Amino acid sequence: MARAMWKGAIQFGLVTIPVKLYVATESRAGVSFNMLHAEDLSRIQMKIFCPVEDEIISRAETVKGFEYAPGEYVVITDEDLESLPLKTVRSIEIEQFVETAEAETHTRFVRQAYYIEPDKIGRKAFGLLKSVLEDKGLTAICKVVIKDREALAALNPFDQTMVLSTLYWPDEIRGLGELDLPDEEVEFKPAEKAMAEQLIGAMTGDFDPGQYRDEYRTALMQIIESKVEGREVTVALAAEEPSNLVDLMAALEASVKAAKAAREAETPPPTSVAEAKAKKATSGRSAGTTAADASEADEVKPARRRKSA
């Protein structure tokens, strides 16, 4: 069973809803490696070393320290962190409600998503808040302290519960000034835009996350298995170097053809009216012949004698 990583309450106005937070995602993207000594392939151990005592110490002998001046530290204990004079240490403090469409513009940079589980005593209030947010199309903007850090967060209905998404603070989001972006809008021909729209249309469909897999991880595991079994590792073909896009229109046309071919391979093209009529007529003639043959066969068959009692 999943373990709650935070316990507290949703607080707005005078309403308090006891809840628990569960991390909504888990990373399975990479294959973990161990650091080995190249000489004997023994696994390297990371130890905590004290340069003053010139000895290895245990993690239990460590404390948190803040460097307020070069080489000068003040120790901060867990009790100090618990005693911070902030309501958000143990509560998800709702600051305001905004329209979800407007909130999406400012909540793109997400740190972590959490499922919310209300305690039994707070289920009615939790359901009421979720219902109003859904009906009104609103997002709750909150503040909460998680892992010794206060975070800005967005609270949104999700399926049978709500999701709390912690966000980066505005001063943590980098500006676009560091990028080499065009100062004025790029000009393109109407035909190029029409072809680009056609390409995007050919590649548009319903999103099914189940269709996607981590192919890099699969390929990496195949290499690992080959090495374990002593088989030769297949070398992948080198990727083509990107070239200058000279003829944009030609590239778009080729892309549209490729996209249509890929889609037709998955779904057969629709039958035209003429093809349907021809198929129906052929089917009718075939059925008529079969019926006539069956009639002739009945005439040839001798009458069956009825058994006498």
pLDDT one-digit tens code per residue, 137-169: 999 999 999 988 899 999 999 999 999 999 999
Lowest mean pLDDT among 35-44, 102-111, 275-284, 300-309: 300-309
Q: 233-264, pLDDT tens digit by residue?
A: 666 555 555 555 557 778 778 888 888 887 77
- Residue range 180-198: mean pLDDT, rounded: 86
> Quick one: CATH architecture of 6-25+83-169?
Beta Barrel (2.40)
Residue spans of the domains in the chain: they are: 6-25+83-169, 186-202+254-265
Asked whether residue 216 carries a pLDDT value surpassing 50, the answer given is yes
Banded pLDDT at 284 (limits 50, 70, 90): low
What would the DSSP string read from start to end of the chain?
A: ----SEEEEEEETTEEEEEEEEE-----SS-----B-TTT-PBP---EEETTTTEEE-GGG--EEEEEETTEEEEE-HHHHHT-S-GGGSEEEEEEEEEHHHHHHH--SEEEEEEEEE-GGGHHHHHHHHHHHHHHTEEEEEEEE-SS-EEEEEEEEETTEEEEEEE--GGGSPPGGGS---SSPPP--HHHHHHHHHHHHHT-----GGG---HHHHHHHHHHHHHHHTPPPPPPPPPPPP-----HHHHHHHHHHHHHHHHHHHSPPPPPHHHHHHHHHHHHHHHHHHHHHHHHHHHHSPPPPPPP-
